Amino acid sequence: MAEFDLIEVLRSRCVQARADVTLGIGDDAAVLAVPAGCELVVCTDTLVPGVHFPLRTDAADIGWKALAVNLSDLAAMGATPAWATLALTLPDADREFVERFAGGFAELAAQHELALVGGDTTSGPLTVSVTAFGFVPTGAALRRDGAHIGDAVVVTGTIGDGAAGLCCAGEEEEGSAILASAPEAARATLRAHLDRPQPRIAIGESLRGRASACIDVSDGLVADLGHVARASGVGIEVESARIPASSAFVAAVAPDRRLALQLTGGDDYELAFTVAEDEAEALFGALRDTGVPVTRIGRVIRGSGVRVLDPDGSAVDVPRGGWEHFR
């Protein structure tokens, strides 16, 4: 199958009619119109097998996740998704792989009325790079550098499911050991969280003008809060007992292994944000409509770095933090 057929498979599955796409796939470049009064928000993330997803992941899940991790970055900026481009490098022109991949990508794209506007398929080791585009009203983008001392620190959803899902994949010995006695239903739930994260777009949009700083939890909770702390010139204190866990996570992971997965596991794709203490309750009320739980886990303090406190108030020793792709 030639390159042009691959692009056609992707185009036919992933194209959305949008009035702001003057010219989509099929020319040297796409021509696009950003709405008046809006800024363009752009991010790019690459997935490679064995690093960003388990080797035996279904192609449909790879397609979903390649878009989801980028939409999660847009959510962290408060942006509304609009378009994406895809650079797909494949070892061979495997039509079934491409069709399954396109199906997963298209399923998530349709949920957000996102149009695939360009792409490139090349021959080589499997690598998936997506660039995603969204809009925010000018000046309204959420950033990492606005946290103030005294702000509440809040996370969406539950933390640790992605890391536990990776343990379920059974490709790392230590992970397999952690989940050795996990019930089958819990494994399936956690694996689904790993393979099909739900970018928190509606929450991000609701945080515009309200959150003082925001980031998505992809590298690990402590590492990502550390990015906020550093950019904002503050410290962050987290109460370990407040970090929300899903029932599948609790069912699958032994009590003494939970906190390490939650603090450093990554792959959560939840949002972590800060909000002024006196605006927190009003914001929580406004977020109730999204159906996604939010949990206050700590506060912004004077100083630097992230400190995690256990229930008796003593500092938890955090394992070497965060996801680094070269390790």
Q: Is residue 304 at the binding interface for a second copy, with CB under 8 A as the rule? A: no
Q: Is residue 15 at the binding interface for a second copy, with CB under 8 A as the rule? A: no
Q: Is residue 327 at the binding interface for a second copy, with CB under 8 A as the rule? A: yes
CB count within 10 Å of CB 196 equals 17
Q: Which two tokens stand for residue 49?
A: 């097998």
> Could you tell me which stretch among 151-159, 176-184, 212-220, 285-293 binds a second copy (CB under 8 A)?
212-220
> Could you tell me which stretch among 53-61, 89-97, 163-171, 174-182 binds a second copy (CB under 8 A)?
89-97
Q: Is residue 51 at the binding interface for a second copy, with CB under 8 A as the rule? A: yes
CB 277 within 8 A of CB 150: yes
Total chain residues near a second copy (CB under 8 A): 71
Q: Which two tokens stand for residue 18?
A: 């949008």
- Closer to a second copy by Cβ: residue 91 or 303: 91
Which residues between 148 and 187 bind a second copy (CB under 8 A)? none
Q: Is residue 317 at the binding interface for a second copy, with CB under 8 A as the rule? A: no
- Closer to a second copy by Cβ: residue 175 or 226: 226
Which of 9, 18, 58, 141 forms a contact with a second copy (CB under 8 A)? 141
Q: Is residue 52 at the binding interface for a second copy, with CB under 8 A as the rule? A: yes
Which residues between 103 and 122 bind a second copy (CB under 8 A)? 117-122
Which of 31, 110, 149, 286 forms a contact with a second copy (CB under 8 A)? 31
Which of 11, 100, 143, 242 forms a contact with a second copy (CB under 8 A)? 143
Which of 16, 46, 290, 304 forms a contact with a second copy (CB under 8 A)? 46
66 three-class SS: helix
CB 74 within 8 A of CB 207: no
Find all residues with CB under 8 Å of 282, minimum gap 6, and list them.
none
Q: Is residue 76 at the binding interface for a second copy, with CB under 8 A as the rule? A: yes
- Closer to a second copy by Cβ: residue 6 or 294: 6
306 beta partners: 236
Which residues between 235 and 294 bind a second copy (CB under 8 A)? none
- Closer to a second copy by Cβ: residue 124 or 311: 124
Residue 285: Cβ-neighbour burial (10 angstroms; 0-12, 13-18, 19+):
exposed
Which of 9, 40, 202, 250 forms a contact with a second copy (CB under 8 A)? 40
Which of 57, 80, 129, 262 forms a contact with a second copy (CB under 8 A)? 129
- Closer to a second copy by Cβ: residue 25 or 169: 25
Nearest to 154 by CA among 285, 291, 296: 296
Find all residues with CB under 8 Å of 286, minimum gap 6, and list them.
206, 210
249 three-class SS: helix
What's the CA gap between 14 and 116, in Å, rounded? 6
- Closer to a second copy by Cβ: residue 1 or 110: 1
124 three-class SS: coil
Find all residues with CB under 8 Å of 102, minimum gap 6, and list them.
9, 10, 13, 14, 63
Q: Is residue 212 at the binding interface for a second copy, with CB under 8 A as the rule? A: no
Question: Which single residue is written with the structure tokens 């890391």?
Answer: 163
CB 136 within 8 A of CB 102: no
What's the CA gap between 91 and 94, in Å, rounded? 8
> Could you tell me which stretch among 54-62, 127-135, 168-176, 275-283 binds a second copy (CB under 8 A)?
127-135
Q: Is residue 27 at the binding interface for a second copy, with CB under 8 A as the rule? A: yes
Size (the chain), residues: 327
In degrees and rounded to multiples of 5, residue 253 shows phi and psi of: -110, 130
> Could you tell me which stretch among 130-138, 154-162, 246-254, 307-315 binds a second copy (CB under 8 A)?
130-138
Q: Is residue 4 at the binding interface for a second copy, with CB under 8 A as the rule? A: yes
